[in-house]
């Protein structure tokens, strides 16, 4: 056996095995607290978690046990929701896009409430889920949100009246109206506009003798711990948004003749700040860029295709265990491990401060990474496996987005 070369430091064993234990860790206590605090802010609202934000059975079970229902977007999501033991009347089919087959499958699973936004879809629901309750999604501009969700869904107010009248004529129950103001909505004004649209449509519906029993305010409530592309805290005005929601609901209740229930479909808001990615440093490098400047690049074992799909829009806070704030830092562009140039924070343009001494195999925690992580993961892109999800309790301190000292 030959001795190691005297100048080559022998790598610590952990550096050679490190990236095999990458994972995303959900703090169930944090998710429960988030749910409880939303319930306290909006008493009486029926909270239906949008499954796609975190289709992890243990997380869903803990929400169901707390009293949450589910906004499901396909028969497979409905089946997953039902596996939590949630009563089927707390699950609705919230996707306006569905085939005849999807509608029939959902109906067989016991779902009786469907989102819609077209007469064509209503006709199919009447045929494959006879007698069901439908709620009509209204279009929003998506302005003020990081992800707009506009154009593809929702109808104009006049069309909503036509769609719900079609439902009534087809012996369905025209049960409600819905909106989605766009995901990670950063403004109270967007909600205000949504309430204006809802109010106008409820009034118009009443003139046609249609009195919905609920409004569904959709998702869009923000995560608190994100940073923008330049690494600055986003600081969404959550308190203001919640005030707009409470006042908006009161206003709608004041103008309809019957009791009006309120449904919310938060996704991101309930889970984002309670999921932490445990990953590793692949390498910190320094290279001259095409424009002649020198840049550091920090490559991590986790990126856009294995857990951080939204890294082009938001950045996350990093914790490098064992490193301190006082040691030497350099500005580095942070990127994932694949051979795809989209696999980088902020389009690979915005450096953030990282410790200069970072070495291959060093651990990194990526905070507020719990939303849309497990659902937006590719299968073996460049041979990189999806991150396993692990649920724990009691690491709440690490996932609290308002805490600053984290090493
Ligand atoms: C994705 C989605 C949600 C959840 O959106 P968030 O912005 O994560 O809260 C809610 N409702 C519908 C219909 C959705 O498609």
Give the pLDDT of residue 13.
57
Please work out whether the CB of residue 154 comes within 6 Å of at least one atom of ligand 1. Answer: no
Q: What's the number of domains the chain is made of?
A: 2
More confident residue, 74 or 3: 74
Give the pLDDT of residue 190.
97
Q: Where are the alpha helices (DSSP H) in 157-258?
A: 157-169, 188-207, 238-255
- Is 10 within a domain? no
How remote is the CA of residue 50 from the centroid of ligand 1, in Å? 6
Give the pLDDT of residue 407.
32
- Is 4 within a domain? no
| Contact criterion met (CB below 8 Å) for 179 and 226 | no
With cut-offs at 50, 70 and 90, classify the pLDDT of residue 208.
very high
- 3-class secondary structure, 272: helix
- Which domain, by its residues, includes 129? 28-271
How remote is the CA of residue 181 from the centroid of ligand 1, in Å? 9
Closest listed residue to residue 105, CA positions, set 71, 75, 73, 72: 75
Q: Say whether both 180 and 161 belong to one domain.
A: yes
Q: DSSP letters along 212-241, please?
A: -SEEE--S-PPPSS-B-TTS-B----HHHH
Report pLDDT digits (tens) over 310-334. Answer: 998 999 999 999 999 999 999 999 9
- Is 182 within a domain? yes
For 384, the token pair is 């990189």
pLDDT at 1 over 70: no
Q: What number does the ligand 1 atom closest to the CA of 266 have?
A: 9
pLDDT at 398 over 70: no
Please work out whether the CB of residue 266 comes within 6 Å of at least one atom of ligand 1. Answer: yes
CA dihedral 377, 180, 219, 57 (to 10 degrees): -50
Report pLDDT digits (tens) over 231-287. Answer: 899 999 999 999 999 999 999 999 998 999 999 999 999 999 999 999 999 999 999
| Contact criterion met (CB below 8 Å) for 191 and 242 | no
- Atom 3 (ligand 1) nearest CA: 219
Beta-carbon count within 10 A of 146 CB: 21
- Is 341 within a domain? yes
Which percentage of the chain shows pLDDT scores above 90? 87
How far, in Å, CA of 324 to CA of 199, rounded? 53
pLDDT at 213 over 90: yes
Classify residue 262 by its DSSP letter: E
- Atom 1 (ligand 1) nearest CA: 50
Give the pLDDT of residue 404.
38
Q: Say whether both 229 and 310 belong to one domain.
A: no
Print the SS3 string covering 56-109: CHHHHHHHHHHCCEEEECCHHHHHHHHCCCCCHHHEEECCCCCCHHHHHHHHHC
Q: Say whether both 118 and 233 belong to one domain.
A: yes
Q: Say whether both 304 and 380 belong to one domain.
A: yes
Give the pLDDT of residue 247.
98
Report pLDDT digits (tens) over 8-62. Answer: 455 555 555 555 789 999 999 999 999 999 999 999 999 999 999 999 999 999 9
Report pLDDT digits (tens) over 283-307. Answer: 999 999 899 999 999 999 999 999 9
How far, in Å, CA of 368 to CA of 336, rounded? 17
Q: What number does the ligand 1 atom closest to the CA of 185 have?
A: 7
Backbone dihedral angles phi then psi of residue 223, each to the nearest 5 degrees: -80, 155
Mutational pocket test of ligand 1: of 59, 136, 138, 183, the residue with most ligand atoms within 8 Å of the beta carbon: 183
Q: What is the CATH number of the domain that holds 321?
A: 2.40.37.10
- Among the candidates 218, 253, 271, a domain finishes at 271
Q: Say whether both 75 and 207 belong to one domain.
A: yes
- Atom 15 (ligand 1) nearest CA: 95
Average pLDDT, rounded, for the chain: 92
Q: Say whether both 129 and 191 belong to one domain.
A: yes
Give the pLDDT of residue 14.
56
- Is 181 within a domain? yes
Q: Say whether both 350 and 393 belong to one domain.
A: yes
Q: Say whether both 169 and 315 belong to one domain.
A: no
- Is 118 within a domain? yes
Q: Say whether both 336 and 374 belong to one domain.
A: yes
How remote is the CA of residue 90 from the centroid of ligand 1, in Å? 16
- Among the candidates 251, 271, 291, a domain finishes at 271
Q: Say whether both 56 and 70 belong to one domain.
A: yes
Q: Say whether both 43 and 187 belong to one domain.
A: yes
- Is 193 within a domain? yes
Q: What is the CATH number of the domain that holds 187?
A: 3.20.20.10
How remote is the CA of residue 145 from the centroid of ligand 1, in Å? 12
Mutational pocket test of ligand 1: of 55, 219, 310, 368, the residue with most ligand atoms within 8 Å of the beta carbon: 219
Please work out whether the CB of residue 48 comes within 6 Å of at least one atom of ligand 1. Answer: no
For residues 343-353, average pLDDT = 92
Q: What number does the ligand 1 atom closest to the CA of 53 have?
A: 8
- Is 337 within a domain? yes
Q: Say whether both 282 and 224 belong to one domain.
A: no
Report pLDDT digits (tens) over 115-134. Answer: 999 999 999 999 999 999 99
- Among the candidates 271, 295, 325, a domain finishes at 271
């Amino acid at each position: 056996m030959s001795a190691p070369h005297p100048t080559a430091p022998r790598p610590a064993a952990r550096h050679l095995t490190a990236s095999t234990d990458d994972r995303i860790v959900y703090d169930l206590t944090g998710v429960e607290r988030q749910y409880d605090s939303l319930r306290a802010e909006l008493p009486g609202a029926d909270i239906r978690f949008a499954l796609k934000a975190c289709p992890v059975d243990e997380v869903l079970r803990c929400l169901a046990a707390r009293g949450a229902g589910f906004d499901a977007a396909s028969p497979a999501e409905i089946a997953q929701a039902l596996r939590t033991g949630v009563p089927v009347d707390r699950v609705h089919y919230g996707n306006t896009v569905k085939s005849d087959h999807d509608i029939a499958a959902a109906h067989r699973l016991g779902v009786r409430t469907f989102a819609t936004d077209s007469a064509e879809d209503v006709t199919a629901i009447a045929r494959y889920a006879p007698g069901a309750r439908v709620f009509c999604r209204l279009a929003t501009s998506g302005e003020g949100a990081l992800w707009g969700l506009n154009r593809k869904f929702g109808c104009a107010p006049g069309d909503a009246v036509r769609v719900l009248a079609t439902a009534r004529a087809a012996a369905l129950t025209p049960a409600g109206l819905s909106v989605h103001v766009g995901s990670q909505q950063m403004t109270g004004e967007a909600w205000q506009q949504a309430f204006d649209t809802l109010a106008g449509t409820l009034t118009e519906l009443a003139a046609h003798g249609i009195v919905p029993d609920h409004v569904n305010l959709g998702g869009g409530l923000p995560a608190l711990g994100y940073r923008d592309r330049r690494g600055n805290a986003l600081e969404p005005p959550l308190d203001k948004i919640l005030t707009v929601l409470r006042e908006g609901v009161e206003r709608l209740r004041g103008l309809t003749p019957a009791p009006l229930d309120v449904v919310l479909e938060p996704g991101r808001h309930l889970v984002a700040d309670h999921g932490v990615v445990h990953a590793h440093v692949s390498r910190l490098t320094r290279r001259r860029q095409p424009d002649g400047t020198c840049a550091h690049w920090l490559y991590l074992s986790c990126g856009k295709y294995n857990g951080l799909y939204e890294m082009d829009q938001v950045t996350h806070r990093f914790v490098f265990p064992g490193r301190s704030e006082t040691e030497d830092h350099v500005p580095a562009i942070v990127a994932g491990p694949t051979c795809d140039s989209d696999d980088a924070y902020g389009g690979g343009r915005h450096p953030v401060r990282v410790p200069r001494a970072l070495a291959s195999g060093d651990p990194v925690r990526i905070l507020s990474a719990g939303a849309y992580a497990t659902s937006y993961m590719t299968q073996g892109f460049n041979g990189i496996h999806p991150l396993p999800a692990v649920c724990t309790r009691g690491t709440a301190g690490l996932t609290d987005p308002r805490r600053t000292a984290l090493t």
